[in-house]
Amino acid sequence: MDRTWICHLAVLQELCVVRGGRDSDLSVAGGCLGHRCGWCRTLFFLLDTGEIILLTRISIRYLTQVILVLTRILDAHGLALQWPGAYCVDSEYGCCVPKYGYPAEDFFVQSFTTFDLSLNKAIVRCNSDKPFDINKCSNLITMHEQLEPIENNLNHYWSNIHCPRTDGTSTWKSEWRSYGVCSGLKEVDYFRAALNLRKNADVLGALAEQGINPDYRLYSTEHIKWAVNQKLGVMPGVQCRDGPFGKKQLYQIYLCVDKNGEAFIDCPKLPKLQCPEEVLFHPFHTWMLNATSPAKIMLPTEA
């Protein structure tokens, strides 16, 4: 995919003072950025290579700052699904019951990143001024009303079991500000897309169908990849972390998703993921969570 380059001028002072003392006029049009100010004019032409050629430069008194911004193109998403059993065992402080109640005994959404495949890099904070608002939306319908069909699933399948325990809002806020704002989706649609993909992937079910279960046993990393591939038709990435008995354990399954956030695709290049030939699949049960105060038990539902 060709790269798209956009040139921005950040004006901190008056760029051009003309004979009549008129203010400068900054305009962007036709694939180039021009500065028009009476008899003085600066024109930058953008090449498809990303280079900028100064075509004309006539009498500029103040040119404070020119910023070139490489605008990455969203053409994929990365869905990281975390196995909570691995986190609980390896975390220094263990894991805690979230304030909203017990999570599901299943893979969680850990992140839903926006990605530029041509650069093989995540697209991050491309619109950092776009707020995370869990209370309202631009159409004046409260975010609570919009999230209501998926709120329970957010709590149980995009859960934060870190200690000290939280209500998950900080996790969702960070994901939205980092990646959601780059997805082109509305806030509720971004979270719904990730939850639907997690449900459709059903990694725990895909592994169980091939005899791979969270039971302290060692499993071939390639067998784990094959099991997911058999169900989804794409090859996943597998991430491990330290586990008991001096073994590495299954921690994350990484999947690539199309730019619309709807269908799984093969990753042209997977992130650098570390796993040995065999990994331990540690069990996860809610009794493994530390409860510092009583938590209301709510059973997860699928939207």
Encode pLDDT of 192-214 as tens digits. Answer: 999 999 999 999 999 999 999 99
Catalogue the E-assigned strands of 154-271.
218-220, 237-242, 248-258, 264-265
First to last CA, the chain: 35
Most confident of 71-80, 95-104, 250-259, 264-273: 250-259
pTM: 0.70
What pLDDT score was predicted for residue 96?
93
- The CA distance from 52 to 44, in Å, is 6
- The CA distance from 218 to 216, in Å, is 7
- Please tell me whether residue 80 adopts helix, strand or coil conformation: strand
Question: Lowest mean pLDDT: which of 107-116, 155-164, 165-174, 214-223?
Answer: 165-174
What pLDDT score was predicted for residue 302?
55
pLDDT above 80: residue 128: no
pLDDT above 70: residue 266: yes
Most confident of 1-5, 183-187, 238-242, 298-302: 238-242
**Of all residues in the chain, what percent carry a pLDDT higher than 70?**
65
pLDDT band for position 44 (cuts 50, 70, 90): very low
pLDDT above 90: residue 1: no
pLDDT above 80: residue 184: yes
Q: What value, to the nearest 5°, has the Cα angle with vertex 119 and ends 116 and 122? A: 45
The pLDDT mean for the chain works out to 74
**Residue that wins the pLDDT comparison between 240 and 138:** 240
What pLDDT score was predicted for residue 146?
61
pLDDT band for position 147 (cuts 50, 70, 90): low
- The answer to whether the beta carbons of residues 224 and 238 sit under 8 Å apart is yes
Mean pLDDT, residues 275-287 taken together: 94
- The CA distance from 290 to 282, in Å, is 17
- The CA distance from 91 to 161, in Å, is 10
Kindly report the CATH number that applies to the domain delimited by 76-288: 3.90.730.10
pLDDT band for position 268 (cuts 50, 70, 90): confident
Q: How many other CB atoms sit within 10 Å of the CB of residue 114?
A: 25
Mean pLDDT, residues 87-96 taken together: 86
What pLDDT score was predicted for residue 301?
55
What pLDDT score was predicted for residue 204?
98
- The answer to whether the beta carbons of residues 189 and 143 sit under 8 Å apart is no
Q: Where are the domains of the chain?
A: 4-71, 76-288
- The CA distance from 301 to 30, in Å, is 50
Handedness of CA 148, 154, 157, 159 (dihedral sign): negative
